[in-house]
């Protein structure tokens, strides 16, 4: 890695976008640049991000509880933060793949990608800050600033999961509407 800061951020962003199976059929494809295989791949990658964000939210929730007391060692906190960092890096890699196929993805996927990037970037930065805090303050993990950091991790990962899930639900609803219109013999959007 030549530029450590740049690549660390890209790697951190990659961690936030790991995978899970798509909950619904192939998304509707419209537009001249939309590629059906890219649409499927983007849907799978977004679903993976949603699932990884949900897992990260669970881990961050545990850290929130741990930060309220000093019963656990700093090593326990550091281990959990490393897991979170690894998840963020996976999501960052998934986001990089999404950026590569963005132009061939469905419009809803393009919008989801655009919303995911800043959320992932913020999550990566806050993960880095929490790790640095643990490294520098091993005996102060009960401090309010650390609790705020891990609370932010929980909130950001929850927001990321919710955002992707909302885009998936919206597309599923649109597909259902289109199927109903066809069944009823109506023009789309009537």
pLDDT in tens, the chain (190 residues): 333 333 333 434 444 333 332 222 333 444 557 889 999 999 999 999 999 999 999 999 988 888 887 778 899 999 999 999 999 999 999 999 999 999 999 999 999 999 999 999 999 999 999 999 999 999 888 889 999 999 999 999 999 999 999 999 999 999 899 899 889 988 766 6
Residue 178 lies in a domain: yes
Residue 55 lies in a domain: yes
pTM for this prediction: 0.76
Task: Tell me the residue range of the domain where 135 lies.
Answer: 34-184
Residue 151, Cβ neighbours under 10 Å: how many?
A: 17
Q: What is the pLDDT of residues 101-128, one digit of tens each?
A: 999 999 999 999 999 999 999 999 999 9
Question: Alpha-carbon distance 174 to 105, whole Å?
Answer: 16
Residue 177 lies in a domain: yes
Structure tokens that stand for 121 in this block: 């970037």
Residue 13 lies in a domain: no
Residue 14 lies in a domain: no
Counted domains in the chain: 1
Residue 126 lies in a domain: yes
Residue 12 lies in a domain: no
Residue 16 lies in a domain: no
CATH number at residue 171: 1.20.120
């Amino acid at each position: 890695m030549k530029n450590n800061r740049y690549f660390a951020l890209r790697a951190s962003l990659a961690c936030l976008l790991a995978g899970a199976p798509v909950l619904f059929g192939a998304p509707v494809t419209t537009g001249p640049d939309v590629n059906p295989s890219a649409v499927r791949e983007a849907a799978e990658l977004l679903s993976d991000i949603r699932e990884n964000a949900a897992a990260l939210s669970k881990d961050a929730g545990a850290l929130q509880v741990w930060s309220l007391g000093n019963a656990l060692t700093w090593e326990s906190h550091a281990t959990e933060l490393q897991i979170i960092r690894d998840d963020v890096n996976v999501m960052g890699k998934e986001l990089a793949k999404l950026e590569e196929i963005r132009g061939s993805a469905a419009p809803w996927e393009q919008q989801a990608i655009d919303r995911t990037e800043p959320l992932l970037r913020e999550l990566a930065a806050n993960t880095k800050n929490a790790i640095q805090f643990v490294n520098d303050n091993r005996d102060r993990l009960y401090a309010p600033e650390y609790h705020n950091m891990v609370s932010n991790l929980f909130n950001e990962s929850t927001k990321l999961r919710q955002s992707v899930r909302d885009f998936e639900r919206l597309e599923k609803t649109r597909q259902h509407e289109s199927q109903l219109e066809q069944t009823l013999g109506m023009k789309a959007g009537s």
